[in-house]
Amino acid sequence: MKLVHTASELNLLVAEAKAEGKRVAFVPTMGALHEGHLRLVDLALEQADFAVVSIFVNPLQFGEGEDFDRYPRTLEADCEALEARNCDVVFAPSAAEVYPPDGTPGKATERAGIIGATFEGAARPGHFDGMLTVVGRLLQLVDPDVAIFGQKDAQQVFMVRKLIGAKFKDVELVVAPTVREQSGLALSSRNRYLTPSQRETAVVISKALRAVDFAAKHGLPASFCIEAGNTLFAGEPEAKLEYLAVVDPQLFKPVTDKFKGEALVIVAAEVGGVRLIDNQTIEIREQDA
């Protein structure tokens, strides 16, 4: 495995791989890697012959008062974990490499649109513009054949799919399922901020998703399904629910009670000052007669 910090080093390695006929996979991360990230690398090597993982904490997707400075930076440990998973290249650029010429991000060059201002976008104004800008820039730098993203950030995946379809048509997008702890809590770099008791509290997030899924399988309309999830949060006052919604996965807009078919439950909640997100695909069925 090679660790590189510049676009020129990266370009040389990717060009050599492609000259050898290798298919290149790319996994973008902000580091502080956990098993969920490492599963993305496993999937990358199932999909391709050469895996590139980027580690870059992108200032452009953090809003005022968010945890950019606090966000964990663990490059040495990350590299050790990636080498054990047979990653080929770790690209850990400076801001100057990503945002030339002086490393100042400036304004976002990609726009998430109306959907980018809802849910996560409403809670974190400008977040998706910044995320799409850095994803676009990294895709330009890596020039992969396939890009691997995790399903846990469902709205991000929705946005990235639109970006790739519009500007990177030669890149295949592969989405990996969310990796969870035995308790059901989705793996997240921010989980390390939780105390043991807060981690137990945070399990209500996945429990609420399962409650929504259970209601949907019994033919209840979307609003009743959501209420089933809300009831779980009502019994866990230490978990502050921000939103719990059922959306059409093709539009990322809330469904009505007339909706039937595959839908996506999305949730955000704060536990101990740590903001966590999760989601689950459900099937809203016709109610049994």
pLDDT higher than threshold 70 for residue 159: yes
pLDDT higher than threshold 70 for residue 288: no
Which CATH number does 189-284 carry? 3.30.1300.10
The CATH class that applies to domain 2-176 reads alpha beta
Q: Which pLDDT score, from 0 to 100, does residue 229 have?
A: 98
Categorize the per-residue pLDDT at 141 as very low, low, confident or very high, splitting at 50, 70 and 90: very high
The tens digit of pLDDT for each residue in 74-119 reads 999 999 999 999 999 999 999 889 987 665 666 788 999 999 999 9
Q: What is the average pLDDT value for the chain, to the nearest integer?
A: 94
Task: Tell me if residue 37 is catalytic.
Answer: yes
Q: Which pLDDT score, from 0 to 100, does residue 71 have?
A: 80
Q: Which pLDDT score, from 0 to 100, does residue 62 have?
A: 82
pLDDT higher than threshold 60 for residue 133: yes
Domain boundaries, the chain: 2-176, 189-284
The tens digit of pLDDT for each residue in 241-280 reads 999 999 999 999 999 999 999 999 999 999 999 999 999 9
Catalytic site residue from 5, 37, 127, 218: 37
3-state secondary structure the chain: CEEECCHHHHHHHHHHHHHCCCCEEEEEECCCCCHHHHHHHHHHHHHCCEEEEEECCCHHHCCCCCCCCCCCCCHHHHHHHHHHCCCCEEECCCHHHHCCCCCCCCCCCCCCCCHHHCCHHHHCCCHHHHHHHHHHHHHHHHCCCEEEEECCCHHHHHHHHHHHHHHCCCCEEEEECCCECCCCCECCHHHHHCCHHHHHHHCHHHHHHHHHHHHHHCCCCHHHHHHHHHHHHHCCCCEEEEEEEEEECCCCEECCCCCCEEEEEEEEEEECCEEEEEEEEEEECCCCC
